[in-house]
Amino acid sequence: VIGWKSEEIEMNKGEYYDFSMYSEDPTSPTAGICNQKGPNKGLPSGWIVYFGVTDIKKSINRAMEFGGEILTEVREMPGYGLYCFLKDPNGHPFAIFQTTVS
């Protein structure tokens, strides 16, 4: 409907899969469906919007300054980049993503 492409992401050695959506740039995910399993245990299930950033640590610090909350440590998506799940001051989860692909 909106031109995104999908990709299954193997999680926990194939025990289950998360699902990511990409716009025209295949190195930068736009959104994903998160399961509450493995490393995502405790995260809300459902759609998570990913915002692309150029400096993930700086963006985390800015989110904290404005009342955000860190939900996970910075994680690596091998071959793509770094990401972190956060919550805005109203409790809405989102992720930030810094690509490491040139």
43-85: pLDDT as tens digits:
777 778 888 899 999 999 999 999 999 999 999 988 888 999 9
Structural domains for the chain:
5-99 (3.10.180.10)
Stretch (H or E) spanning 56: helix 56-65
Most confident of 10-24, 27-41, 50-64, 76-90: 50-64
Q: Rounded to two decimals, what is the model's pTM?
A: 0.69
Who contacts 46 (Cβ-Cβ below 8 Å, separation ≥6)?
33, 34
pLDDT band (50, 70, 90) for residue 29 = low
Reading phi first (left if > 0) and then psi (alpha if -120 to 50, else beta), residue 56 is in: alpha
Tell how strand 69-70 and strand 93-99 pair up. Answer: unpaired
**Average pLDDT along the chain:** 79
